Amino acid sequence: MVRRRFATVLLALAALVGVQLVGAAPAHAATRTLYYDASQAQEFVAVVNQAATVWNGRVSNVRLVPVTAGRTPNIRVYADNGWPRTYTTSLGNGRWYMGREAVVDGYYPLRIATHEFGHILGLPDRRTGLCSDLMSGSSAPVSCTNANPSAAEAAQVQRNFASGVTAAPQDELLTVG
């Protein structure tokens, strides 16, 4: 009886002081949902949706989801006749263009779309020339059809969204080419 009471008092004191007596798994940031609007992506809507699915399969703390009625999107996607490009306003926010010029030049549309989402997720162009690096963009050969982020790129996105805190706004133009 005395031992039980002593243990209870000890546990209560430990809780007051903030001592953790039992190990627990490390806390993970909640999954951040980013809503995208592809309604202006014209003939590329399906490719934009596929690119979101690629990222959703590679990272766990951020989700790209089509915007629903009544919700403001974090990301707007457009199609035009120029070169693909992204304008970020802050981590996870901005707009990007699925430029037809790169598609006409022979670049793989799904790789372009996944790459542009990569910019919104905080990845810069790397210009390594390697097809295995999604963020190498147009420095990889036109024949490259790899639309998957590398393990390092996915890990960087995980780190970017680990804290759940949005980065300071940027006015940066990032392009595929």
Is-catalytic flag, 116? yes
What DSSP character marks residue 51?
H
Give the β-pairing of 85-90 and 172-175.
Answer: antiparallel
Taking the C-alpha atoms of residue 138 and residue 108, their distance in angstroms, rounded to an integer, is 10
* DSSP H stretches of helix in the chain: 2-17, 45-58, 100-104, 109-120, 151-160
Catalytic residue among 43, 116, 153, 172: 116
∠162-165-169 over CA atoms, to 5°? 125
Taking Cα atoms as reference points, which of 96, 113, 95, 143 lies closest to residue 44? 113
Find out whether 145 and 111 touch, Cβ atoms under 8 Å: yes
* Active site members: 116
